[in-house]
Structure 1
Amino acid sequence: MAFAQQNITTGANPGTDPIRVMVVDDAVVIRGLLTRWLDSDPGLTVVGSHRNGKLAVDDVEKSNPDVVVLDIEMPEMDGMTALPLMLAKKRDLIVIMASTLTRRNAEISFKALSLGASDYVPKPESTSEITTSVDFRRELVDKVKALGTRARRIRGPVRTMRAETNAGRTASQAPAGRLDSARDSFRRTAGAAAPAVAKSSFTIRPYAAVRPRILAIGSSTGGPQALQHVMKDIGTAINDVPVVITQHMPPTFTAILAEHIGKAAMRPAKEGEDGDILQPGHIYVAPGGKHMILEKDGGAVKVRLTNGEPVNFCKPAVDPLFDSVAKIYGSATLGLILTGMGHDGAQGVKTISAGGGSIITQDEATSVVWGMPGAAANTGQCSDVLPLQEIGPKVARVLKGTAR
């Protein structure tokens, strides 16, 4: 399955207890398989395995998992019914929805994200495909480790920060709000203070002197929510430029993502199709299973879809899109890297920077996973490292030529 995420090493820190996981799936074979995969990782331990949502809800307080892998379709109580009940019992619980690649399940997964789920994992259609899919196993384990580790880190620093403040740290240096969990950090940080890592700790480049003629965005885990937040905040500033987006997602999901982004931005949005001519004020999302790049054709810029090998274990990948954008738009490129696992997009950031363009990346405190934005920030080629709530307004000002 070519849309798999990049394999990462994020897991429980040495010397700490493994991340506690609950598996909820009505198929005994799948439940057993997922349990074996997760238990085989030294940073993870399965503390509960249930055939329906009711049993999981009843057990969540006793088993006290950090992460739940939750099937959607189950007898007695399905995943969508169980989701809010589990979150009500354990506020900082990380829930990863698991569903097959149907239009209905994709819609349900997006709804689950709006109700508090942290992410989703698309399951292959059949048991035999699930059993043999290396990519599905990698994506499942990586997401459980990354999101579970993120949640634990968010819980821990709060006590440390409070102790430092009591020891004499000034109030202005302490965070103004608390991130309750990774699953809702992108929403709860709207009133939070500075990022966990001050942007002054990174090398920051000046913005390009020219006004951008395109906005290119890359994102992954946590990206659907972050994209809708940012695009809503940018508002009418995209009327004069096209927007191209690569979000790590499988087919079907990317079409629905485009619809959601379009509603948030109140602008036309669609999956990119081969031969599309870019239009100002329009949003183009790379379709799952294809790389989307841009190509100059006379006075027009067109979308091209390619079926090459995964890049950074991803298809679609951010790097090919960013490289093609930089080649055409040069210093008139504005790139944006949002929350996500791995380091896809970091090479593209360097390419955009080398062409004179500008990059904004999301900070650690508001990222569900600070893999991609962290890798981008650490290139030293970004013009800003910002919390999510500041990104849309800043992008709008840069696009209008009023912020440098």
Structure 2
Amino acid sequence: MAVAQTNYPGSSPGTDPIKVMVVDDAVVIRGLLSRWLDADEGLKVVSSQRNGKLAVDDIERSNPDVVVLDIEMPEMDGMTALPLMLAKKRDLVVIMASTLTRRNAEISLKALSLGAADYVPKPESNSEVTTSVDFRRELIEKVKALGARTRRMRAPVRSMRAETSAGRVNSQAPVGRLSAARETLRGTSSAAPVPAQAKSFTLRPYSSARPRILAIGSSTGGPQALQKVMREIGSAVHDIPVVITQHMPPTFTSILAEHVGKAALRPSKEGVDGEVLRPGEIYVAPGGKHMILEKDGGAVKIRLTDGAPVNFCKPAVDPLFDSVAKAFGSATLGLILTGMGHDGAAGVKTIAAGGGSIITQDEASSVVWGMPGAAANTGMCSDVLPLDEIGSKIIRILKGNLR
């Protein structure tokens, strides 16, 4: 099936192609994914394997930048192969591929906690895989974006002292390897980062109004980042609702809501159409629907809509942020975490226009600095912070300490 050539994030004409290994026990799928990836001038398939054992044995010889790894395979499955691959190549990008069953969704989210960079949900049947333009686009987009990032991580960087001035902030560019971002998310990083050239952003003052809601947008790397932040702020959000849009398909979002709730020790579930927001509860936009808020008398209700994708995403962050700003105005606190693309940037402007405040994750701690980078570059954020500092900052804001 022909698809027009697209310059996905991370593609750079004239540079060496990103090397990819495809691991899947189905010969039809393995061949199809390999052809799709090889057809892009920014990518080169260097290995194609039918199970995890053969893939692990071939890592050193083929030396891929990215592995697309199936979960269910004979002899050695993807979850068994994952840590063995990362042990052989610490900065290897592994993207899990699985069909949309609850079991595979659980396994995919567990894989993220064990070092996988992301996942790609596969359609249920081979025929659906063959004809799915969205699956092909998402696969190539993620391989290119994550592969390009890990290459940048290997490049030598020069140090520069971060300087701050009134209304400006310096955010450090990515340092070390992609594994450094993974280790930050897993809470295992102990090495101090070596800063690269600093980037400066215009910041807005925080709203003087105490937040009455926390709205969060995230994508690639988001599940781990969300659990870390919610674990830290769970006790502080007892009297405000938290609404989350994470780019995920159906089934995945219900499991994510469970995981986030366990991390925060708070009630957490997918949003339900017509439900009234309750303080101290967490609501995750369900996969395949946009979640927005609307006022209904003195209450604020969730509405689920089945409109077209926004920024190629459904659910998308922009519709949620726009509606939160309308419902809560200057009492809105928004947060943009790691993710590809620019979804949420328009919503950040809307929140700022309504007098609310936005925090965005910095580049060094993001798995992909697309969404947070786009938000930071609007000049409408109040802080650009490492993931390790976001939770404590939110707690201070909720207590009325804006410093």
Question: TM-score scaled to structure 2, two decimals?
Answer: 0.92
DSSP 3-state at the match of 1:379: coil
Change (3 A) 1:24 1:176: closer
Deviation at 1:235, TM superposition (A): 3.1
Deviates more, 1:319-328 or 1:177-186: 177-186
Contact 1:254–1:288 under 8 Å retained in 2 = yes
Contact 2:172–2:364 under 8 Å retained in 1 = no
Deviation at 1:403, TM superposition (A): 1.9
AA at the equivalent of 1:268 = P
Deviation at 1:116, TM superposition (A): 0.8
- Paired position in structure 1 for 2:101: 102
DSSP 3-state at the match of 1:202: strand
Deviation at 1:399, TM superposition (A): 1.4
DSSP 3-state at the match of 1:240: coil
Q: Which of 148, 158, 161 is equivalent to 2:158? A: 161
Q: State the Cα deviation string for residues 19-63 of structure 1 (Å, max 9, x = none).
A: 110000001110010001101111110000001111101101100
Change (3 A) 1:194 1:237: farther
- Paired position in structure 1 for 2:351: 352
Write the distance in 2 (CA, Å) between the matches of 1:161 and 1:367: 20
- Paired position in structure 2 for 1:70: 69
Q: How many residues align?
A: 387
Deviation at 1:15, TM superposition (A): 3.7
Write the distance in 2 (CA, Å) between the matches of 1:345 and 1:327: 15
- Paired position in structure 2 for 1:169: none
- Paired position in structure 2 for 1:42: 41
- Paired position in structure 1 for 2:165: none
DSSP 3-state at the match of 2:103: helix
AA at the equivalent of 1:225 = Q
Question: TM-score scaled to structure 1, two decimals?
Answer: 0.91
- Paired position in structure 2 for 1:318: 317
Q: State the Cα deviation string for residues 228-261 of structure 1 (Å, max 9, x = none).
A: 0111121311111100000000000000000110
DSSP 3-state at the match of 1:380: coil
Change (3 A) 1:209 1:189: farther
DSSP 3-state at the match of 2:209: coil
Question: Quick check: which one's helix share is greater?
Answer: 1
AA at the equivalent of 1:238 = V
Write the distance in 2 (CA, Å) between the matches of 1:346 and 1:190: 32
Is 2:365 aligned against 1:376?
no
DSSP 3-state at the match of 1:68: strand
AA at the equivalent of 1:330 = G
AA at the equivalent of 2:21 = M
Write the distance in 1 (CA, Å) between the matches of 2:319 and 2:296: 18
DSSP 3-state at the match of 1:342: coil
Write the distance in 1 (CA, Å) between the matches of 2:193 and 2:375: 22
DSSP 3-state at the match of 1:23: strand
Write the distance in 2 (CA, Å) between the matches of 1:312 and 1:84: 33
Write the distance in 2 (CA, Å) between the matches of 1:141 and 1:246: 23
Q: State the Cα deviation string for residues 59-102 of structure 1 (Å, max 9, x = none).
A: 01100001000000111111111111111111111100000000
Unaligned runs of 5+ in 1: 1-6, 166-172
Write the distance in 1 (CA, Å) between the matches of 2:7 and 2:327: 32
Contact 1:106–1:252 under 8 Å retained in 2 = yes
- Paired position in structure 1 for 2:300: 301
AA at the equivalent of 1:113 = L
AA at the equivalent of 1:243 = V
Deviation at 1:302, TM superposition (A): 0.8
* Mapping for residues 17-56 of structure 1, pairs under 5 Å: 17-56=16-55
Change (3 A) 1:216 1:191: farther
- Paired position in structure 1 for 2:3: none
DSSP 3-state at the match of 1:335: strand
Write the distance in 2 (CA, Å) between the matches of 1:176 and 1:355: 32
AA at the equivalent of 1:95 = V
Contact 2:273–2:303 under 8 Å retained in 1 = yes
Change (3 A) 1:131 1:224: same
Contact 1:272–1:285 under 8 Å retained in 2 = yes
Deviation at 1:175, TM superposition (A): 9.6
Write the distance in 1 (CA, Å) between the matches of 2:94 and 2:376: 28
Contact 2:29–2:126 under 8 Å retained in 1 = yes
Deviation at 1:197, TM superposition (A): 6.4
The CA RMSD measured in Å over matched residues stands at 2.1
Write the distance in 1 (CA, Å) between the matches of 2:11 and 2:229: 31
Is 2:127 aligned against 1:128?
yes
Change (3 A) 1:278 1:116: same
- Paired position in structure 1 for 2:168: none
- Paired position in structure 2 for 1:398: 397
- Paired position in structure 2 for 1:241: 240
Deviation at 1:359, TM superposition (A): 0.3
Deviation at 1:377, TM superposition (A): 0.4
Is 2:256 aligned against 1:257?
yes
Unaligned runs of 5+ in 2: 1-5, 162-170
Write the distance in 2 (CA, Å) between the matches of 1:83 and 1:280: 40
Write the distance in 1 (CA, Å) between the matches of 2:194 and 2:210: 28
Deviates more, 1:274-283 or 1:178-187: 178-187
Contact 1:204–1:382 under 8 Å retained in 2 = yes
- Paired position in structure 1 for 2:288: 289
Write the distance in 1 (CA, Å) between the matches of 2:190 and 2:359: 18
Deviation at 1:192, TM superposition (A): 3.8
Contact 1:195–1:363 under 8 Å retained in 2 = no
Write the distance in 2 (CA, Å) between the matches of 1:221 and 1:175: 18
Change (3 A) 1:232 1:190: farther
Is 2:131 aligned against 1:138?
no
DSSP 3-state at the match of 2:266: coil
Structure showing greater relative contact order (alpha-carbon pairs closer than 8 Å, 6 or more residues apart): 1
Change (3 A) 1:297 1:401: same
